[in-house]
Structure 1
Amino acid sequence: MEQRIYQIDAFTDKVFSGNPAAVCPLNKWLSDSVMQKIAMENNLAETVFYVKQDNHYEIRWFTPSVEVDLCGHATLAAAFVLFNYESYKENIIHFYSPRSGNLTVAKQGELLTLNFPTDVFESIPLTNELTDVFNITPEFAFRGKTDYLLVFTNEEQIKQLIPRFDRISKLDGRGVIVTAKGDEVDFVSRFFAPQSGIAEDPVTGSAHTTLTPYWSDILGKDELTAIQLSERRGYLKCKYLNDRVEISGQARMYLKGEIYL
């Protein structure tokens, strides 16, 4: 059996930056174990699979070690493939995730816009467990559906953070988002998830379902610009719509190939 595979750099306008995701268009679902093995073999932060179902596409995401509830950059990558290489003719794609519900991606020129459910998060105490995971102590801590959110004083601290992966991996969540007000954009962030097989994710669309409502409230504005300060960098435009969040970015093709199963 031969299986098409694409590798797309998401949330960037050039290759070798943004966040790479593998995209596997399927005619029917493979077994969970095979999809997990493909994701492990790809060894990227995410591999996304989708299957056409009537007027929408069912979608699932895998890290090298686990299936996850939601992944923004891989959804952007899947939409980029459909729009540009899989003969999809409309300007909006309807995805459905068994874990996260209805998701859409709209196309306007080269800009792709995700529409995702807003995360629900709450303030939590800054315990030793949380203050010990980095070399710098955060100001505030929150807990969302899957991630911790730690807020720091300024952008320079986000750049200078040294993660202690052994301690992060012991936290009971998908990972840790760190953020601060940006110098040239509204906010900056990084994301660490060793417990999910991702030491530092280059650009994390799903984390912005938490970051967008947080910074919208802090800054008093609904439309925001953001940079994820990984080595590869990612650039995002975000819009807070109460129970939904729009997250926009570009993408670029890196490779197209075939898997032999």
Structure 2
Amino acid sequence: MINIPVFQIDAFTDKPFIGNPAAVCLLMEEKSDEWMLNVAREMNCSETAFLLNKEMGISLRWFSPKTEVGLCGHATLASAHVLWEKGIVPRNEEILFFTKGGLLTAQYKEGWIELNFPAIEEKKVLPSEILLDALKVPVLYVGKSKYDYLVEIETEEILKDMNPDFETLKIAVPRGVIVTCQSDRPKYDFISRFFVPSLGINEDPVTGSAHCVLGPYWQKKLNKSELIAYQASERGGVIKVKIDDDRVYISGKAVTITDGVLLV
């Protein structure tokens, strides 16, 4: 029997039981998609990351409890945290992740993990009535990226009090909806929430990949290339965002919650 190291990490936080939990599996050999999906269901985090050493870097795939995911920030951050914490990669070395979303990198910088992700463009669209009905709040702007809708609303209070109709939202959007507004608090530039009921996650606690869209959006609105964001879920998390041409640098911290092995 081969014991497969598995960890649960709280990402985008420096305190336990906050931020976004991700499971990280360190594979010794290739595993089938069915096996990885079964493990993701068992771990029951919004995403489970599967890492496998390759000659040029680390192969990385992400699975939610329902399906494989094309791009995931918090599980990538959690993966980098494990690789450095366990001494698999020295902290002064950049990690190369080969993913279905392209080549992603991670660097350790003054206690923060900085991920290099692609900027994702969104364009203004006319929202459907079913989407507006599902959100149940007045909207200022609706855009659409290749993955998700981006919706700007007026105030932080409205954002925090949102209670969407998730069953209707499953019908209205193929994947998720990022809802955002400028922050009322000077320490943050903008805040957001991310709803993904079609992937079995009504609300994702802290979503790195959503900031690939949010970063460029707020860069244009605020005329700033370095931003501090807060994702206002029940658990919550802080994300540093830096935009450089077609790349978005997403930084956060992480905490190990469990450290064990899979026996199957």
* TM-score, scaled to structure 1: 0.97
Aligned residues: CA RMSD: 1.0
SS in 1 for 2:17: coil
Match of 2:247 in 1: 244
Letter in 2 for 1:258: V
Letter in 2 for 1:247: I
- Identity, % of aligned positions: 43
Q: Among residues 96, 99, 117, which one is paired with 2:98 in the alignment?
A: 96
Q: Distance in 2 between matches of 1:180 and 1:157?
A: 9
SS in 2 for 1:170: helix
- Mapping of 1:1-261 within 5 angstroms? 1-89=2-90, 90-97=92-99, 99-184=100-185, 185-261=188-264
Q: Distance in 1 between matches of 2:198 and 2:87?
A: 34
Change (3 A) 1:24 1:208: same
What is the deviation of 1:189?
0.2
SS in 2 for 1:132: helix
Letter in 1 for 2:131: L
Q: Distance in 1 between matches of 2:242 and 2:261?
A: 37
Q: Distance in 2 between matches of 1:109 and 1:83?
A: 13
What is the deviation of 1:206?
0.3
Letter in 1 for 2:74: H
**What is the CA deviation profile of residues 14-57 of structure 1, one whole-angstrom value per residue up to 9, with x for unaligned ones?**
10000000000112221000000000011110100011111211
What is the deviation of 1:126?
2.6
Q: Distance in 2 between matches of 1:68 and 1:174?
A: 10
Q: Distance in 2 between matches of 1:202 and 1:127?
A: 26
Letter in 1 for 2:234: E
Q: How many residues align?
A: 260
Moved over 3 A (4+): none
What is the deviation of 1:141?
0.5
Q: Distance in 1 between matches of 2:36 and 2:216?
A: 33
What is the deviation of 1:134?
1.8
* TM-score, scaled to structure 2: 0.96
Q: Distance in 1 between matches of 2:154 and 2:127?
A: 15
Letter in 1 for 2:261: E
Q: Structure 2: which 5+ residue stretches go unaligned?
A: none
Contact persistence 1:126–1:140 (CA under 8 A)? no
SS in 1 for 2:172: coil
Q: Which moved more, 1:87-96 or 1:35-44?
A: 87-96
SS in 2 for 1:136: coil
Q: Distance in 2 between matches of 1:146 and 1:181?
A: 22
Q: Distance in 2 between matches of 1:109 and 1:88?
A: 17
What is the deviation of 1:86?
4.2
Q: Distance in 2 between matches of 1:203 and 1:57?
A: 23
Contact persistence 1:148–1:173 (CA under 8 A)? no
What is the deviation of 1:173?
2.4
Q: Distance in 1 between matches of 2:112 and 2:86?
A: 16
